[in-house]
Amino acid sequence: MPLSVPAGVLAAVLFLAGCAQPVVPIERLGRKAAEGVRPHVRPLAAPPSRLPPPPVVDRVPTRDRVVFLTYDATDHPTALGELRLPVSRFTPGLRPLAGTPYATQHAALCARRTRLLRPPRGAYDPTTLRAAADCGVTAVVLWRATLTPTGLTYPRGPHHLRRGDIVRLLPDAPTDRLLDALHRRNLTAARLEDYL
């Protein structure tokens, strides 16, 4: 026995079915884009360097009884003229590069055109080393001792100068203390560029 559907209900169903518009896949994609759904795409990495990273040094292996005096251009020691010793000047830049993208570091380092690099504030990361290698840097120079206004400080290792140490000079550094330390250890200053 056939089911009887009230005419009003049947008319409503047919009316609503006629109003429904089909949703095609392209419309669905458009709606998803409007909702902010984005594909998970990783940013392009920097090309791998074909060159080995430059060594990071705070001292130079040598049998000569020498140390290497350095200063940053922004930290020009006031008593530097009194030394009359070879001193290497670095221009590390004002802002640290570590943590910035490869392209930023590469542009900054290649613009310097230098063989020896002193990273700003001594901060570097693997990207710095890769960019440095690609820009022709042969060594990243740090320091093992610092001559501050209160004297020599050593963040690690023996608390005296050793042959091959790289010493960073700060403004208002007491050069008499440095000269005393060199004489006590039977050391002299040499040009860093001649050893690296």
Residue 9 is assigned to a structural domain of this protein: no
Place of tokens 């209160």: 150
**Dist CA 108 CA 113 (whole Å):** 10
Q: How many domains does the chain have?
A: 1
**Dist CA 31 CA 146 (whole Å):** 62
Residue 34 is assigned to a structural domain of this protein: no
Among 72, 94, 44, residue whose Cα is nearest residue 143: 72
pLDDT in tens, 39-92: 444 444 556 668 999 999 999 999 999 999 998 877 666 656 666 788 899 987
Among 151, 157, 154, 143, residue whose Cα is nearest residue 179: 151
pLDDT in tens, 134-145: 999 999 999 999
Number of H helices, E strands in the chain: 6, 9
Residue 87 is assigned to a structural domain of this protein: yes
The percentage of residues in the chain with a pLDDT greater than 70, rounded to a whole number, is 70
pLDDT at 23 over 80: no
CATH number at residue 148: 3.20.20.370
Range of lowest pLDDT (81-85, 113-117, 122-126, 179-183)? 81-85
Mean pLDDT to the nearest integer, 21-34: 51
Residue 123 is assigned to a structural domain of this protein: yes
Range(s) of the domain holding residue 63? 56-194
> What is the reported pLDDT for 137?
96
Residue 12 is assigned to a structural domain of this protein: no
Residue 107 is assigned to a structural domain of this protein: yes
**Dist CA 27 CA 18 (whole Å):** 19
pLDDT in tens, 136-190: 999 999 999 999 988 899 998 999 999 999 999 988 888 888 889 999 999 999 9
Residue 129 is assigned to a structural domain of this protein: yes
Rounded to two decimals, the pTM is 0.73
Residue 18 is assigned to a structural domain of this protein: no
Token pair listed for 186: 């039977």
